[in-house]
Structure formats: structure tokens, C-alpha cells
């Protein structure tokens, strides 16, 4: 992969331990010309290319997350519909049994 000009950060894809959601961590190059340390202070002045790179990565992750949530929503609706059919069938079966027992022989 060709190194891009004016990008001194790397992005790392991680999974949040608490929520299980995917997230992007930004790693800084301490030797970059736009990264400064002064005592306990860290400063970073992102280049236009870095901002574009980070925004693009977040956009891709956001699209993937929305798509996954949309697909999960459809499968949950399908599951809910099928559970409703099962409940409806069970109720009919129970009612039929009750009516059969009440019918005179």
C-alpha cells in the first residue's frame, strides 16, 4: 500500500468490551510534524488529509453499523411474527381441546 502524504495517524478497529460495538481508535505518530508534547500536555493539529481519512473511516463504520442494525431489526420482526404465529396456533389448540372436553359424548 502506498503511503499517503500528510497522514501521520493510523486507525485501529476495536470491539468495545462493555457494549460489544465496533469502534475506531486513533494512534498518533509521536514523530509527526503535527504532534507536539509539552510537559504533560499533548497537542495534535490534524492535517486536512488526516481529517478526511478519519471521517471516511467513521463513515464506513457508521454505514456498516446502520446496515447491521437494520438487518437485526428485520430478523427480530421475523422472529416476533413467527412467535406470534406459534402463540396463535397454541391458543387455538388449547381452545379446541377445551371444547372437545365440554362437548357431550
pTM of the model: 0.56
pLDDT (tens digit per residue) in 67-100: 776 676 655 545 545 455 555 556 666 666 666 6
Burial of 83 (0-12, 13-18, 19+ CB in 10 A): exposed
Name residues whose C-beta falls within 8 Å of residue 45's C-beta, 6 or more positions apart in sequence.
34, 36
pLDDT at residue 103 tops 70 = no
Percent of the chain having pLDDT more than 90? Answer: 30
pLDDT at 1: 40
Q: What are 60's three cell numbers?
A: 464506513
Domain residue spans of the chain: 9-102
In whole angstroms, how large is the CA radius of gyration of the chain? 28
Mean pLDDT, the chain, whole residue set: 76
* N-terminal to C-terminal alpha carbon distance within the chain: 83
Amino acid at each position: 500500500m502506498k503511503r499517503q502524504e500528510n497522514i501521520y495517524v493510523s486507525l485501529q478497529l476495536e470491539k468495545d468490551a462493555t457494549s460489544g460495538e465496533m469502534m475506531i481508535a486513533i494512534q498518533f505518530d509521536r514523530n509527526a510534524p503535527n504532534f507536539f508534547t509539552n510537559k504533560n500536555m499533548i497537542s495534535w493539529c490534524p492535517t486536512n488529509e488526516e481529517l478526511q481519512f478519519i471521517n471516511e473511516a467513521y463513515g464506513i463504520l457508521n454505514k456498516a453499523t446502520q446496515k447491521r442494525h437494520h438487518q437485526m431489526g428485520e430478523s427480530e420482526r421475523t422472529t416476533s411474527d413467527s412467535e406470534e404465529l406459534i402463540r396463535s396456533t397454541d391458543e387455538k389448540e388449547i381452545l379446541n381441546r377445551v371444547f372437545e372436553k365440554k362437548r357431550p359424548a
